[in-house]
Structure 1
Amino acid sequence: MNLLAHAVLSFHEPEILLGQMISDYVKGRRKFDYPPVVQQGIMLHRQIDSFTDAHPVTIEAKKIFHPVYRLYSGAFVDIAFDHFLATDAAEFPDQSLFTFSQQVYASLDSHTDLMPLPFAGMFPYMKRDNWLLGYSTHQGMYRSFRGLVQRSAFMTDSQPAADLFEKNYLALQSFYHAFWPSLKEFSSTEFRKIRA
């Protein structure tokens, strides 16, 4: 899953949130450099990613992007699912996504001293451009697709992703609704285990 889902699945715990946000930038035993609760957030992020990658619904959803993006198809599905989470009225009624995004940035702001350099360099742009809120719009989605392609050494064009997203919008939305409840239940269970 992508940034918004990991933020939601941090269950309003600031250090779990930090661990979830920085997990992709913390390799190997470097996770032990962080306080125990941040380590738990890093671990929860990885459990969520493993569950997502192995789930039959996401495996099916990846087929939409696979002909063009191959091994990166899962990353595009993750971004697409963040869009449907951002626009899910059951999760974010009315203006609550904006409020939630500001709470996330404020929480992360209080832990900038613990951020690995790559995330610390990215975070001001994430906050300034409100990436979390941006997932709710198609323009924000296209920006996320472009960012993913630019960070990759093996992709050069994000336009096919935007086209595939639009063409398969309803199918991807159905995949999200079939998947999100099981991910939320799994994450809640794992969260309770690590915080016990």
Structure 2
Amino acid sequence: MNHLAHVVLAGPDEGLRLGAFLGDHVKGREALSDLPPDWAAGVELHRCIDSFSDGHPAVLGLLERLESPWRRYGGVISDVLFDHMLTRYWSRFGPTDLVELGGQVDELLARHAERLPPRLVRFGAWARSRGLWWRYGERDMLEEIFFLLARRHGRSWPLSHGARLLDDHEAAIEEAFLELFPDLQARASEDRERLYSTWSSM
């Protein structure tokens, strides 16, 4: 899953939200011992969410429909497009007003910038400047995200054209998201309680 979904699935706890972002920046289990317990729980929650999502029948079925070369990068692209779908169905799945949530996330990342990895700090500044959280539903924002992903991965095709996957498979992507996300919410709720309890006792 991508950033917006991870924030939603982390719940309202600030430590878990920070850990949700750090999940893409902290590697291995040993590094978790250097983090505050709630941040570490958030990192593990991020990993649990990604593992559950990657193995979900809805996601596997969607990727099976894709032709080469889309299939190779389908997981990366579909993560972004699922955030797009999340904004489309925000009234069903969102915990609060989307603009309000975006403001909370921007403030959270800025407040803890001195303790976060430089790449995450740069991402937070970019997200704040671009109004990322409430613009995932806009086509031009999707295209900007895919352009940046392509540059980061050094692979212009097909990543920079990821929005075309929405044009060609919108109904299938929407169907997969609507099957996946309720299951993710239920699983994340269980994992949040378990991980928070585990890490808070250390």
2:92 pairs, out of 73, 90, 94, with: 90
Compared CA separation, residues 92 and 50, structure 1 to 2 (3 A): closer
Residue 155 of structure 1, CA deviation: 4.1
What's the % identity of the aligned pairs? 27
Measure, in 1, the Cα distance between the counterparts of 2:67 and 2:76: 10
Deviations 1:141-161 (A, max 9, x none): 122221211110344444542
Compared CA separation, residues 115 and 186, structure 1 to 2 (3 A): same
Report the residue type matching 1:90 in the other structure: R
Deviations 1:29-78 (A, max 9, x none): 22222111100000000000000111111111223555124432101111
Measure, in 2, the Cα distance between the counterparts of 1:153 and 1:69: 16
How do 1:157-196 residues align onto structure 2 when only pairs under 5 Å count?
157-158=158-159, 160-196=161-197
Report the residue type matching 1:193 in the other structure: R
Deviates more, 1:128-137 or 1:9-18: 128-137
Compared CA separation, residues 79 and 166, structure 1 to 2 (3 A): same
TM-score (norm 1): 0.91
Compared CA separation, residues 66 and 32, structure 1 to 2 (3 A): farther
Measure, in 2, the Cα distance between the counterparts of 1:150 and 1:136: 22
1:80 aligns to what?
81
2:44 aligns to what?
43
Number of matched pairs: 195
Q: Does the alignment pair 1:6 with 2:31?
A: no
RMSD (Å), alpha carbons? 1.9
Residue 135 of structure 1, CA deviation: 0.9
TM-score (norm 2): 0.89
1:14 and 1:108 in contact (8 A); partners too: no
Residue 15 of structure 1, CA deviation: 0.9
Report the residue type matching 1:2 in the other structure: N
Measure, in 1, the Cα distance between the counterparts of 2:31 and 2:186: 29
Q: 1:67 is paired with a residue of what secondary structure?
A: coil
Gaps of 5+ in 1: none
